[in-house]
Amino acid sequence: MSKGIEFRVYGKYALFTDPLTKLGGEKLTYSVPTYQALKGIVESIYWKPTLIMVVDELKVMKPIRMESKGIRPIDYGGGNTLANYTYLKDVCYEVRAHFEFNMHRPELAHDRNEGKHYSILKRSLQAGGRRDIFLGARECQAYVEPCEFGKEEGFYDSYPEIPLGNMVHGINYPDETGRNEMEVRLWSPVMQQGIIKFIRPEECTRVRKISDMKPKLFGDQNLQLADDLLAELGAGERP
């Protein structure tokens, strides 16, 4: 895969929240990461609006274990609320992903240089990512490192098939779909021998509109703002 990477992500805790459990102010994690959570990790390694990150496969390396904690969420009303959050404990995953050019951003066509972005992506992975890595929730700090996908033995390698039920697949944003809507996608994954093969976002048949939304444009206006800022700082124009 010329535009792909394979990496390991691991941490002490993870929280891939099932939205059905948030109604009462508490949170319960899914048993495995969602497509959107893994896409966020790849984008924390390296991302530009020119690119769309696509997650291909996930391998669960350690047994699925959960731990509940009493959490005091931020209460801006001055209350002293206690909530129960259920996390995944001691997690490790192998991920295979790749990037594609975002054809819904014609204003960035000049930046479609596959070799450049692939080289930066590989260097960013070697450095542990460009931004903080976390597993579903900000308090679940994680780390990434390159690996060879599927080479090491995982806990579920001998399990032929484990249905995981109905889950959120991810969110459609207008800059990736061309539609001025934000949508949520659902699917029913099956883990086979510890591996989940993700369907592509456009292959999800259960899609629901959340709200209207317009994409942010990156074009001459943004470049002019950058020139104006540089001029104010006395640095001249962009080279």
Average pLDDT per 10 consecutive residues for the chain, totaling 239 residues: 86 95 86 97 95 97 95 73 92 97 90 93 95 95 96 95 96 92 96 97 95 79 55 56
Q: Tokens for 84?
A: 């129960």
The reported pLDDT for the residue numbered 222 is 54
Residue 172 · residue 179 · CB < 8 Å? yes
The reported pLDDT for the residue numbered 1 is 44
Helices in 65-200 by DSSP H: which ranges?
114-126, 174-177
The reported pLDDT for the residue numbered 216 is 79
Top CATH class, 4-232: alpha beta
Compute φ and ψ for 19, nearest 5 degrees. -60, -20
Residue showing tokens 């942010």? 216
- The domain ranges of the chain are 4-232
Residue 37 · residue 136 · CB < 8 Å? yes
- Amino acid identity, position 231: A
The reported pLDDT for the residue numbered 21 is 86
Q: Tokens for 183?
A: 């949508």
Pairing type for strands 83-101 and 4-14 reads antiparallel
The reported pLDDT for the residue numbered 38 is 98
The reported pLDDT for the residue numbered 230 is 59
Q: Tokens for 168?
A: 């959120």
The reported pLDDT for the residue numbered 238 is 46
Q: Interior CA angle at 218 toward 238 and 56, to 5°? A: 115
The reported pLDDT for the residue numbered 63 is 97
